[in-house]
Amino acid sequence: MNAIVLDNPLIEHKLSIIRNKKTGTKEFREVIGEIATFLCYEAMSDAVLEEVEIETPICKAKVQTLNEHNYAFVPILRAGTGMLDGLVKVMPNAKIGHVGLYRDEETLKPIRYYYKMPKDIANREVIVLDPMLATGGSASDTITMLKQDGVKKIKFLCILSAPEGIKKLQEIHPDVQIYTATIDEKLNELGYIVPGLGDAGDRIFGTK
């Protein structure tokens, strides 16, 4: 599977917190942001750095810097916005786009109800955010739209993923690297990830 999984005791500890149904909204939201930061670090491991000269308190020195203006974060509404805080803390100059989708009950085709991107999105590396990769439908539809806008390099970050979602996303967009904190067992008959953490959007925003 085209997925990089964070394998770290600290991640396992953080996952245990958000899986627990007794965890409150504040702590749940904070931990989602923390895990998103770890995912961002991993996703940026292949970033191209630029050499510049700066002056330290001691002397002039050549250092390696990242041009944050080459990147954009695109959360899938609404749960994806819960991951934004964790990413903008480490890359505050990246642009941000938003995608809102729902599926037509009869045709099962994705209906875009909101789509707002930076004007130069085609020239940026885009990191798509959604806490849950379940069926893979919303993720694959979002990436398709971005490619139609000319985006060439896309990565997908999620907290929890199901094998079914990874498989679908890989089949439709094999060029997109997936970064996830964990791969769970399966989807249940309602399309929820098992063991999962429930509805990420409801828990992030306290609407359940």
List of the chain residues with pLDDT < 70: 1, 105, 107-108
202 is catalytic: yes
**Are residues 130 and 139 in contact, defined by beta-carbon separation less than 8 angstroms?**
yes
pLDDT at 1: 59
pLDDT at 31: 97
pLDDT at 190: 84
pTM as predicted: 0.93
Q: Which of 23, 103, 135, 182 is labelled catalytic?
A: 103
Q: How many domains does the chain have?
A: 1
Look at residues 166, 146, 2 and name the one whose alpha carbon lies nearest to residue 74. Answer: 146
pLDDT at 110: 73
Angle between helices 137-148 and 163-172 (to 10 degrees): 20
Which amino acid does the sequence have at 197?
L
Q: Which of 144, 175, 202, 207 is labelled catalytic?
A: 202
CA 42 to chain centre: 12
Parallel/antiparallel/unpaired status of strands 98-103 and 95-96? unpaired
CATH of residue 186 = 3.40.50.2020
Range of the structural domain that residue 12 is part of: 3-205
103 is catalytic: yes
Q: Which of 107, 135, 149, 180 is labelled catalytic?
A: 107
107 is catalytic: yes
